[in-house]
Chain A
Amino acid sequence: MEFAMPLFAAIIVAFGLIKRVPVFDCFANGAREGIGVLYRIAPTIFGLVFAVNLLRSSGAVDAVCGFIQPAAEFIGFPKEVVPMAMLRPVSGSGSSVLLTGVFEQCGPDSFAGRVASVIAGSSETTFYAVAMYYGSIGIKNIRHTLVAAIAADLTAFAVSVVTVNAFL
């Protein structure tokens, strides 16, 4: 698995060479777009890290987690991941910040760190995607879209715990 990322990159570069694409120019153009994305999300990240740091040092998370803990423990869900799972459908940057918070608190290779990783990888910013796509064409009645989308997120949360228990 550790080899997948470099292998994938090598295949794409080799394919580009075969197709006679100016690979390095392409790479530079793409990297420039990457910087643009970073520039756009930087203020959001600053604001969210600020809020999340405040929240964590205030003791509010511990209080809420203490409240949720029995329920979370009952279904085998790591309590440290609860805040991240709650923010995940709303904000991508926010849940990244909370994900690194779980890594700091428990370590990326702990049970909570692994579950948080799998949730981050297998769920999406549902509300953002729904609002953007329907907003772009002026749809007012979205029927059962949210029901199905939230079912996807809840499934991802549950299956994350199950797969981490089963495979790691």
Chain B
Amino acid sequence: MLNYIWSAIVIISIICSVACGNTHNLSSAVIDSGASAIELLMTMAGVMCIWSGIMKIAEQSGFSKIIAKIFSPLLRLLFPSLDPEGETFGSITMNISANLLGLGNTATPFGIKAMQGLNRINGESKTASDEMIVFVVMNTASLQLLPTMLGTLRQSYGSKAPFEIMTCVWISSACALAAALVLAVGINKTGLGRK
């Protein structure tokens, strides 16, 4: 999908700048873009390496398992048909808690494992089961306790209070998740599209 969006942006920009008669801006934009990309990458590099390091400690010391334990009663309500001692439910709790801690790299493998487990329960069907929909929807709502990358980007662009947005981020994420879950679980209850 990004193939089409990217080419559309490039072509539309060039047509538009010719139409508007500001082609001289365009060549300076091409030259500057390399430098601004490096600048953005350098800002991201610092926070990414340091937090990947800290979070590795959280993973190895069992800190993320404790977070998983705290959230498992909540997840039990959302996945009532799964065995709470089973491997699939375990993968789901690890995926959600890794997301909460901002461990994207750890969350994805657990997520895929959870999907494979749900797939077996669903009889390898081509149609998504109710549990899959709830799980994927939870992954598309951003749940992160500490938006470290966001804070760092804000700081590097001169924000006086880079983390002032945190309360708003939490409220907004919670509302987004609630909306997604209400729709997902609500439509699941009607049995729409079930095989």
A binding-site residues for B, Cβ under 8 Å: 1-2, 4-5, 8-9, 12-13, 15-16, 18-19, 21, 23, 26-31, 33-35, 37-38, 42, 45-60, 63, 87, 90-91, 94, 96-97, 99-100, 103-104, 107-109, 113-114, 117-124, 126-127, 129-130, 132-134, 136-145, 147-149, 151-153, 155-156, 159-160, 163-164, 167-168
Q: Which one of A57, A100, A160 contacts B22 once the chains associate, using CB atoms below 8 Å?
A: A57
Closest to B175 in A: A159
Chain B interface size, under 10 / 10 to 19 / 20 to 34 / 35 or more: 35 or more
A100-B157, A108-B157 given; A21·B105 CB < 8 A: no
Q: Return chain A residues, CB-CB under 8 Å to B75.
A: none
Q: Return chain B residues, CB-CB under 8 Å to A53.
A: 29-30, 32-33, 36
- The interface residues of chain A, by DSSP majority, are classed as helix
| B146-175 interface bits toward A, Cβ cutoff 8 Å, 1 = contact, 0 = none | 111111011001111111111111011101
Q: Which one of A47, A90, A96, A127 contacts B40 once the chains associate, using CB atoms below 8 Å?
A: A96
How far, in angstroms, from A51 to B30 measured CA to CA in the complex?
Answer: 9
Q: A50-B10, A58-B22, A140-B127 are in contact. List 11 more A-B contacts (CB 8 A).
A: A26-B60, A50-B33, A54-B30, A58-B20, A122-B172, A133-B115, A139-B125, A144-B187, A148-B179, A156-B173, A159-B172
